[in-house]
Amino acid sequence: MGIRLGIGGLKIGSGSSVNWSWATRYPSNVVLTVLSSTSIRVTHTNNGTQDFTGISYEISPADQLHFTENTTAAPGTTSKDLTVSADTLYYVRLRYYKD
């Protein structure tokens, strides 16, 4: 019973151009906390507030290949609660984006 969790990695699409330091542009210190059988809290250090307009919190089933957006937040956000299904393995990925 309960929620099983994993943390997915950062993925950049093919053809993406990256010209900034990785260390200062992606979430770090990611922690997942189970709040209930259907809710988890994701907390993290936000390292990209000057360059991004939002954060996408994405979840994936056990395959870690097909992530779907669970919710979004403003760039300064460092904690977000996600709704999930009980007794399901999820991987969580945070993605900064720029509109």
pLDDT band at 69 (very low <50, low <70, confident <90, very high): very high
pLDDT band at 86 (very low <50, low <70, confident <90, very high): confident
Which residue is associated with the tokens 């250090």? Answer: 45
Which residue is associated with the tokens 């290949």? Answer: 65
pLDDT attached to residue 82: 92
Task: Pick 16 or 40 by higher pLDDT.
Answer: 40
What does the alpha-carbon distance between residue 13 and residue 31 come to, in Å, rounded to a whole number?
A: 25
pLDDT band at 80 (very low <50, low <70, confident <90, very high): very high
What is the percent of the chain where pLDDT is above 90? 11
Domains plus CATH for the chain?
A: 4-9+24-97 (2.60.40.10)
The yes-or-no verdict on residue 42 having pLDDT over 80 is yes
Q: Is 60 exposed, middle or buried (0-12, 13-18, 19+ CB in 10 A)?
A: middle
Mean pLDDT for the stretch of residues 79-92 = 87
The yes-or-no verdict on residue 59 having pLDDT over 50 is yes
pLDDT attached to residue 14: 35
What does the alpha-carbon distance between residue 50 and residue 66 come to, in Å, rounded to a whole number?
A: 28
What does the alpha-carbon distance between residue 13 and residue 15 come to, in Å, rounded to a whole number?
A: 6
Distances 42 to 1, 18, 59 between C-alpha atoms, Å: 20, 26, 11
Mean pLDDT for the stretch of residues 11-34 = 58
